[in-house]
Amino acid sequence: MAETKAEVRARVRAWMKGADPAALRASDDALFERFLTLPELARAETVLLFHGMGAEPDTARLIAPLLDLGKTVALPRCMPERAMEARTVTAAAVLVRHRYGMLEPGEDCPLLSKDKIELILVPGLAFDKNGYRLGQGGGYYDRYLENFTGHTAALCRDALLMDAVPREAHDRPVELVVTERRILRRV
């Protein structure tokens, strides 16, 4: 691959920094509307979201609709040694700021076993048409997704959907990439 992960991350972050907030909000609206229609979501009782930050989709806006649909909703909590755990949240859950800047559930939110999760919404700076992602570089999700048997989906702005992202042997693609205009399913 011609470009390294660091080069692509820098390019995507520059795009995100210059993005118009109103355009991002409209993009979020379209992404969320499409995500909420997924049959995989309809069948899932338990969903692990991520809490978007910066120019990432504002996924906190999905918590209330998912709870209204009767779903159990969890958010990730970063642990030592680049590990991650899932904790269930309610609309009233108090989130705490992690040192990386994102909001995550506190220890008072109930721990959720990975085998109870049916759908994980996986974050990424950019995705490609085959479901591979370019993450922030910490490897938290790569580790967490090992041996995960449920469904995986991603929200990707059309502007950040690439033909191919740089990847390594341990990178695992998501099954579904949801953009403002379409849903790409990995076959």
AA identity, residue 147: N
* 161, 129 contact by CB (below 8 A): yes
On whether 131 is known to bind a ligand per the annotation, the reply is no
- Rounded to two decimals, what is the model's pTM? 0.92
Residue 86 counted as an annotated binding residue: no
**CATH tag, 5-185:** 3.40.50.10420
Whether residue 106 is annotated as binding a ligand: the answer is no
Of residues 138 and 95, the one with the higher pLDDT is 95
Mean pLDDT of 86-98: 89
Instruction: State the CB neighbour count (10 A cutoff) for residue 68.
Output: 9
Average pLDDT over residues 153-175: 92
Q: Does 48 carry a binding-site annotation?
A: no
Cα 164 from Cα 22, distance rounded (Å):
28
Confidence of residue 98 (pLDDT cuts 50, 70, 90): confident
Q: Is the pLDDT of residue 72 over 80?
A: yes
- Whether 134 contacts 126, CB under 8 Å: yes
Half-sphere exposure of 169 (CA within 13 A, CB side): 0
Per-residue pLDDT, averaged over 139-168, amounts to 92
129 among annotated binding-site residues: no
Residue spans of the domains in the chain: they are: 5-185
141 annotated to bind ligand: yes
